[in-house]
């Protein structure tokens, strides 16, 4: 087992390419994308998501703690410019690094 950082991003699907490119640039290679997500923000602002032209995506990525700063530095400007949100939390990966190296 080893510690990792979990990065969760909810953004407009139109910005997905920029987000994935930024994660790759920061050295975060693996990710999961869930399309067509809807919800309500922490501030309670209810948006009429049925009326939007573009769908939202939920991106989940994991990275070693030492790569987190560079990931935040490339993701923050995208979210500030185009909207969206990002949450970061601690997680533990249970797969052995030795097993990954042998695949």
Q: What is the pLDDT of residue 88?
A: 97
Neighbour tally for 56: CB within 10 Å = 22
CATH at 54: 3.30.70.120
Q: Grade residue 42 by pLDDT with cuts at 50, 70 and 90.
A: low
Q: What is the pLDDT of residue 9?
A: 96
Among residues 53, 13, 70, the alpha carbon closest in space to that of 36 is found at 13
Least confident span in 15-19, 37-41, 62-66: 37-41
Q: pTM value?
A: 0.80
Residue 28 in tokens = 């975060």
**Domains contained in the chain, number:** 1
Conformation bin of residue 4: beta by default, left when phi > 0, alpha when psi is -120 to 50: beta
Q: In which domain, by residue range, is 91 found?
A: 2-102
pLDDT at residue 49 above 60?
A: no
């Amino acid at each position: 087992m080893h510690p990792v950082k979990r990065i969760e991003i909810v953004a407009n699907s139109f910005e997905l390419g920029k987000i994935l490119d930024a994660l790759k640039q920061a050295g975060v290679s693996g990710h999961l994308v869930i399309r067509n997500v809807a919800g309500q923000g922490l501030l309670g602002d209810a948006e009429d998501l049925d009326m939007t032209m573009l769908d939202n995506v939920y991106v989940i990525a994991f990275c070693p703690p030492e790569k987190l700063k560079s990931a935040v530095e490339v993701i923050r400007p995208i979210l500030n410019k185009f909207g969206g949100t990002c949450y970061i939390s601690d997680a533990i990966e249970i797969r052995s690094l030795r097993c990954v190296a042998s695949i």
